[in-house]
Amino acid sequence: MARKPASLSRRLIASLSGLLFVFWTIAVLLGISVMRDEFDEVFDSALQETTERLVPLVVDDLFRREAREEPYRIADPKPGLHDEYLTYQVRDATGRVLLHSNNVSPEPYGAPLVSGFTDDGDRRIFTVETVSGSLFVQMADSLAHRREATLESALALLLPIMVLLPLGMLATWWLVSRATAPVARLGDAIAERDGTNMTPILMEDLPAELAAIPGSINTLLERLTASLQAERDLAANSAHELRTPLAGALAQTEILVTDLADSPARARALQVQSALRRLSAMLEKLLQLARAEAGIGSAAEPTELLPLFDLVLDDFIRAHPGVTIEVGKDLPDVPVPLQIDPDAFGIAFKNLLENASKYGVEDRPVEVHLSQGRRIRVSNVMPGSGGEDVDQYRQRFRRGRSTLPGSGLGLAIVDRLMAQMNGRLTLRSLASVEGETVFEATLEFD
């Protein structure tokens, strides 16, 4: 199965949307990284400032208390009213905790007794040395709180983007669709041009990048139309110029054969007559092939199938009274119009009838059947046992094993014309009930 070409607009939409998503994601990640560093600076600054302001208070409070082994715990005057992210401890030079806040255990922090910042698991600790190095005040800030603040800020950045990104993709789709609409219209206009439609393409609203294409195509169509017309004129003129002298020569040869009834030269006259008849038949097939190559199969107006079928069949029967033809019809009572040229159909159908009558078994009828599916089947009994590839006969100058004279062009012409008439030629070789080999050619119209 042929692969369907990719759409230019879909490719642009997917590429632009993907780039938009990647760039926005990178921008958000960079923003979150910068924001996290700034948050750390703000939190560290607040931690340091709070510790430095707390030092004189806790030291003064500690000296007002009596010395004891157990550390003092400072109670919260308003418990439960706010989140307590900051904790502190007052330690002596040996590391023993002398005083601590209500929301931390009396176990010493894991930070060393050195002034400055230290990380201890989930805490960020700032240490201040006081009273000549005999006391140390350590305040801890929860790192989980910092991560929570960073996460909430990141979500505040991401949520609008999750809404704006689909809107951006829709806007991209709308803009790309509008930008590529002239390309689609031009493609449709070009696709409509074929053997039956050679009219110029008239599109004035194309962008500058596409404006030159219709002119070039119209010039090509004009040259193609002129070329096809020249071929058709040549075929018609050749038929008139060649058939007439050939028919005259054949008539004179027939008279000469009659005049030489008792002469030894009559045999040579008969050979000339036979050669002229073969030449006439070959000329007829070559002219038909030239017309088929010129593209006469399609037509602008529909043609009714049944009257055309009867006309060609009756004409063939009158021209070949010695051929027995059995006709069958299986058609509905409604008209069957086809977009075909009557002359092209006549050439194709007549060639099938001639092929069946010439190469069929003598005294056996040629069967012709017209069915509802717009099919015309022509079959005849073949001499011999068959077994060869009959599909090869649609090629030019390809003949079977028959010794009868022929051009080898009949089925090739039919195949060419059927392609132009939106149909197809099917060739089959099958065995009949009586054990005979039957050659069957079918014309199928869409």
Which 3-state string (H, E, C) describes 191-221?
A: HCCCCCCCCCCCCCCCCCCCCHHHHHHHHHH
Q: Which of 8-12, 53-57, 110-114, 383-387 has the lowest mean pLDDT?
A: 383-387
pLDDT at 61 over 80: no
Q: What is the pLDDT of residues 234-247, one digit of tens each?
A: 766 766 677 778 77
Average pLDDT for residues 188-193, to the nearest whole number?
82
Domain residue spans of the chain: 28-74+83-150, 228-293, 303-445
Residue among 290, 282, 258, 297 at smallest CA distance from 397 = 282
- The CATH architecture of the domain made up of 303-445 is 2-Layer Sandwich (3.30)
> What rounded mean pLDDT belongs to the chain?
80
Residues sharing a CB contact under 8 Å with residue 280, sequence separation 6 or more, in sequence order: 243, 246, 247, 250
More confident residue, 413 or 234: 413
Residues sharing a CB contact under 8 Å with residue 343, sequence separation 6 or more, in sequence order: 291, 296
pLDDT at 75: 67
pLDDT at 398: 61
Query: With contact defined as beta carbons under 8 Å apart, do 92 and 119 qualify?
Result: no
pLDDT at 48 over 60: yes
Residue among 377, 356, 355, 376 at smallest CA distance from 365 = 356
- With cut-offs at 50, 70 and 90, classify the pLDDT of residue 1: very low
* 3 state DSSP class of 111: coil
- With cut-offs at 50, 70 and 90, classify the pLDDT of residue 165: confident
pLDDT at 236: 62
pLDDT at 283 over 80: no
pLDDT at 321 over 50: yes
Query: With contact defined as beta carbons under 8 Å apart, do 445 and 365 qualify?
Result: no
pLDDT at 373: 65
Q: Count the helix, strand and coil residues of the chain and give each as a percent rounded to the nearest 5.
A: 50, 15, 30
Query: With contact defined as beta carbons under 8 Å apart, do 401 and 345 qualify?
Result: no
More confident residue, 293 or 403: 293
- Angle value at C-alpha 59, between 58 and 61, nearest 5 degrees: 60
Q: Which of 2-16, 208-222, 340-354 has the lowest mean pLDDT?
A: 2-16
pLDDT at 133 over 50: yes
Tell me the CATH number of domain 28-74+83-150, given options 3.30.70, 3.40.50, 3.30.450, 1.10.3470. 3.30.450
> How many whole angstroms separate alpha carbon 442 and alpha carbon 343?
18
Question: Is the overall model pTM greater than 0.75, yes or no?
Answer: no
Average pLDDT for residues 306-318, to the nearest whole number?
88
